[in-house]
Structure 1
Amino acid sequence: MKFGVIGAGQMGGGIAQVAAQSGFDVVVHDQKQEFLDRGRGVIEGSLGKLHEKGKLTDPPEAVLGRMQFTTSLQDFADCDLVVEAIVENEAIKKELFRQLGEIVKPEGILASNTSSIPITALATASGRPTQFIGMHFMNPVPLMQLVEVIRGYQTSDDTARFVNETAEKMGKTPLSCNDYPGFVSNRILMPMLNEAIQCVMEGVAEPEAIDGIMKMGMNHPMGPLTLADFIGLDTCLAIMEVLHQGLGDDKYRPSPLLRKMVQAGLLGRKSGEGFYKYN
Structure 2
Amino acid sequence: MSTDSPDIQKVGVVGCGLMGSGIAEVCARGGPHTLVYEVDKAALDRGRERIEQSLERAVARGRLAPEEAERVNGSLAFTTDLEDFADRDLTIEAVPENEDLKAGIFEALDRIVQRPDALFASNTSSIPVMKLGAVTSRPGQVMGLHFFNPVPVLDLVELVPSLATDDRAWARMRHFVSGVLGKHVIVSQDRAGFVVNSLLVPYLLSAIRMFESGFAVAQDIDEGMVRGCGHPMGPLALVDHIGLDTTLAVAESLYAEFREPLYAPPPLLSRMVQAGNTGRKSGRGFYPYPKPASPPRIDTTPRSPSC
Common fold by TM > 0.5? yes
Q: Which amino acid aligns with 1:20?
A: A
Per mean C-alpha deviation after superposition, the further-off stretch among 269-278 and 250-259 is 250-259
Distance between the aligned counterparts of 2:270 and 2:40, measured in 1? Answer: 31
Q: How does 1:41-190 map to 2 (within 5 A)?
A: 41-57=49-65, 58-104=67-113, 105-168=115-178, 169-190=180-201
Deviation, structure 1 residue 249:
1.6
Distance between the aligned counterparts of 2:225 and 2:34, measured in 1? Answer: 40
Distance between the aligned counterparts of 2:277 and 2:144, measured in 1? Answer: 30
Distance between the aligned counterparts of 1:6 and 1:238, measured in 2? Answer: 19
Residue in structure 2 matched with residue 261 of structure 1 by the alignment: 272
Distance between the aligned counterparts of 1:50 and 1:84, measured in 2? Answer: 25
Deviation, structure 1 residue 60:
2.1
Q: Which amino acid aligns with 1:270?
A: K
Instruction: Give per-residue Cα distances to partners, 1:184-236, cap 9 Å, x unaligned.
Output: 11111111000001111122211111101111121110000000111111111
Deviation, structure 1 residue 53:
2.6
Name the SS of the counterpart of 1:220 in structure 2: coil
What fraction of aligned residue pairs are identical, expressed as a percent?
46
Residue in structure 1 matched with residue 39 of structure 2 by the alignment: 31
Q: Which amino acid aligns with 1:149?
A: L
Match of 1:18 among 26, 36, 44: 26
Name the SS of the counterpart of 1:175 in structure 2: strand
Instruction: Give per-residue Cα distances to partners, 1:138-174, cap 9 Å, x unaligned.
Output: 0010101100111111111111111111111212101
- Structure 2's unaligned 5+ residue stretches are 1-8, 291-307
- Structure 1's unaligned 5+ residue stretches are none
Name the SS of the counterpart of 1:115 in structure 2: coil
Matched, 1:40 2:27: no
Instruction: Give per-residue Cα distances to partners, 1:241-261, cap 9 Å, x unaligned.
Output: 111111012222111221222
Per mean C-alpha deviation after superposition, the further-off stretch among 87-96 and 139-148 is 87-96
Give the structure with the larger helix fraction: 1
Matched, 1:250 2:261: yes
Distance between the aligned counterparts of 2:136 and 2:64, measured in 1? Answer: 36
Distance between the aligned counterparts of 1:188 and 1:135, measured in 2? Answer: 18
Q: Which amino acid aligns with 2:75?
A: R
Instruction: Give per-residue Cα distances to partners, 1:28-86, cap 9 Å, x unaligned.
Output: 11111121111111111111121223322543222111111111122211211100001
Name the SS of the counterpart of 1:41 in structure 2: helix
Distance between the aligned counterparts of 2:258 and 2:148, measured in 1? Answer: 23
Distance between the aligned counterparts of 2:50 and 2:263, measured in 1? Answer: 35
Deviation, structure 1 residue 103:
1.4
